[in-house]
């Protein structure tokens, strides 16, 4: 039986209610975090037009965010398995908001672009305090159908947050300028962090988390409930023995196509079709709207046909490559068609990302490593995103956007090959440590 298919028979009504509330709060928190992460991407054309920085420095700033995010994921993934995940989520939201507001204020300083770079790098670190602890909360606080629903719906918060970020940015850019975007997004993050703290601990007092003791036995309120006696395996033992090596390689390619590409969509549209920054940001809203079903399609494919997250992801890499190839042929027909084709690719990559960063890590909740696995994989993803962020900017500046799209096709093809090769290793290796070993999940 899958970790995501438990029944509700043993859950009291009050616990089910609090689990639902916590699940909703987890989804909203990640959605809000994306509003405060993608505002920079939406503001790049306006900031460049005002002479705040050029495209190369914009790429460096975006890359700085991703580097600090990746480093933070590695650190906070380990911390999430050892500290209070609720506190980490609230702190991450609060200080991400502070950093957004500081970016907005930076224009009043001499050499403002360096202040923007510094604050946006810090925003990257604080943003990294959310995802691994969120997965930990899903694994330990939620049970039954609530856990299943949240695990499925949490990925939809990414495109939802992206839509809200682009819409808010478009409205504020045209009316008040780019500074107002960061003020508004920062204020929203800070306000929600306060709401998070108030609600999380009330729900957590009812939902007693299922924790993993040092002897690898599940405990609830200190009582051994599994009878296991083996020592909890280390992170690198899990990586070496379960096929996660291929997942790590696959998520590097996924990071390039999911986040590296997304960073540059408003600029690509603005440069290729001579649109204003606000218009480019508004058209870019198409991207997350089409992304929205990506996670659900991936889950449906995996549950109905493959029962293997790596096989499902290989198919999605193939769809991404085909979409970019089509973009090379017909992308000049207009900005809307261009964004739709890019969105098909990023939707497929969101689906693969759901497999890599939600479904695969949840398999390891029984050995207390869901947060560590999530943090490590997400760190790898954003390391690739960081490199691609600046690389895409340099390629587009030196050779044009067509060359950048050709590079995306190559990345998608490589991702397809590696992920497909790793599918059989993951199928054999995932059952070594997970608690439920039925292949018919």
Euclidean distance between CA atoms 225 and 259, whole angstroms = 41
Distances (CA, A) of 97 to 43, 104, 194, 311, 411: 16, 11, 11, 38, 33
Which residues constitute the domain of residue 157? 13-214+232-431
- In this predicted structure, the answer to whether residue 432 has a pLDDT above a threshold of 50 is yes
Residue 122: per-residue pLDDT: 96
The confidence band for 438, taking pLDDT boundaries of 50, 70 and 90, is very low
State the Cα angle at 332 between 330 and 337, rounded to 5°: 65
Euclidean distance between CA atoms 100 and 106, whole angstroms = 10
pLDDT in tens, 351-394: 999 999 888 988 887 777 888 888 889 888 878 877 887 788 88
- In this predicted structure, the answer to whether residue 170 has a pLDDT above a threshold of 90 is no
pLDDT in tens, 233-250: 777 788 888 889 999 999
Total number of domains constituting the chain: 1
pLDDT in tens, 110-123: 778 899 999 999 99
- In this predicted structure, the answer to whether residue 49 has a pLDDT above a threshold of 70 is yes
Please indicate, yes or no, if residue 437 is contained in any of the structural domains: no
What residues are paired with 212 via a beta bridge? 218
What average pLDDT does the segment 14-37 reach? 93
Please indicate, yes or no, if residue 70 is contained in any of the structural domains: yes
For residue 162, the tally of other CB atoms under 10 A from its CB is 27
Please indicate, yes or no, if residue 248 is contained in any of the structural domains: yes
Burial 371-386 (b: 16+ CB within 10 A, else e): bbbbbbbbbbbbbbbb
The confidence band for 8, taking pLDDT boundaries of 50, 70 and 90, is low
Please indicate, yes or no, if residue 273 is contained in any of the structural domains: yes
The confidence band for 272, taking pLDDT boundaries of 50, 70 and 90, is confident
What average pLDDT does the segment 139-162 reach? 85
307: tokens are 């029962």
Residue 209: per-residue pLDDT: 62
pLDDT in tens, 253-268: 999 998 778 778 878 8
Residue 167: per-residue pLDDT: 86
Please indicate, yes or no, if residue 21 is contained in any of the structural domains: yes
Residue 228: per-residue pLDDT: 36
CATH code for the domain in which residue 406 is found:
1.20.1250.20
Please indicate, yes or no, if residue 4 is contained in any of the structural domains: no
Pair 33, 26: CB distance under 8 Å: no
Q: For the chain, what percent of residues have pLDDT higher than 90?
A: 38
Phi-psi region of 128 (alpha: psi -120 to 50; beta: other; left: phi over 0): alpha
Distances (CA, A) of 289 to 88, 124, 283, 343, 384: 29, 24, 11, 8, 24
Please indicate, yes or no, if residue 2 is contained in any of the structural domains: no
Pair 243, 377: CB distance under 8 Å: no
What average pLDDT does the segment 173-179 reach? 88
Pair 373, 77: CB distance under 8 Å: yes
pLDDT in tens, 318-333: 999 999 999 988 877 7
The confidence band for 3, taking pLDDT boundaries of 50, 70 and 90, is very low
């Amino acid at each position: 039986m899958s970790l995501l298919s438990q029944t509700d028979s043993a859950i009291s009504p009050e616990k089910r209610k609090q689990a639902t509330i916590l699940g909703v709060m987890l989804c909203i928190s990640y959605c809000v975090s994306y509003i405060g992460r993608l505002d920079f991407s939406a503001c790049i054309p306006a900031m460049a037009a005002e002479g705040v920085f050029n495209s190369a420095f914009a790429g460096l700033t975006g890359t700085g965010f991703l580097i600090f995010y990746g480093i933070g994921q590695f650190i906070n993934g380990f911390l999430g398995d050892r500290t209070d995940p609720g506190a980490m989520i609230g702190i991450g939201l609060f200080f991400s908001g502070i950093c957004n507001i500081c970016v907005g204020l930076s224009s009043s300083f001499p050499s403002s672009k360096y202040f923007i770079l510094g604050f946006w790098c810090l925003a990257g670190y604080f943003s990294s305090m959310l995802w691994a602890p969120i997965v930990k909360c899903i694994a330990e606080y939620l049970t039954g159908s609530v856990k299943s629903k949240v695990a499925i719906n949490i990925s939809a918060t990414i495109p939802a947050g992206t839509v809200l970020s682009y819409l808010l940015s478009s409205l504020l850019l045209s009316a008040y300028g780019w500074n107002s975007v960061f003020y508004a997004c920062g204020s929203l993050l800070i306000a929600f962090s306060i709401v998070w703290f108030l609600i999380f601990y009330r729900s957590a007092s009812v939902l007693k988390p299922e924790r993993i003791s040092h002897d690898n036995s599940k405990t609830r309120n200190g009582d051994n409930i599994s009878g296991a006696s083996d020592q909890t395996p280390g992170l690198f033992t899990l990586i070496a023995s379960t096929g996660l090596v291929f997942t790590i390689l696959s998520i590097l390619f996924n990071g390039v196509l999911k986040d590296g590409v997304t960073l540059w969509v408003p600029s690509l549209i603005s440069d290729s079709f001579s649109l204003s920054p606000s218009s480019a940001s508004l058209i870019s809203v198409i991207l997350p709207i089409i992304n929205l079903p990506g996670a659900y399609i991936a889950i449906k494919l995996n549950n109905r046909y493959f029962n293997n997250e790596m096989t499902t992801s290989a198919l999605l890499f193939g769809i991404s490559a085909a979409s970019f190839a089509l973009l090379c042929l017909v992308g000049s027909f207009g900005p809307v068609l261009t964004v739709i084709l890019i969105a098909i690719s990023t939707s497929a990559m969101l689906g693969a990302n759901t497999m890599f960063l939600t479904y695969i890590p949840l398999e390891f909740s029984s050995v207390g490593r869901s947060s560590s696995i999530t943090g490590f994989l997400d760190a790898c993803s954003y390391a690739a995103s960081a490199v691609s962020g600046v690389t895409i900017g340099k390629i587009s500046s030196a050779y044009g956007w067509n060359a950048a799209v050709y590079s995306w096709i190559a990345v998608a093809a490589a991702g397809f090959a590696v992920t497909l090769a790793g599918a059989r290793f993951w199928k054999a290796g995932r059952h070594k440590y997970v608690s439920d070993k039925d292949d018919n999940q």
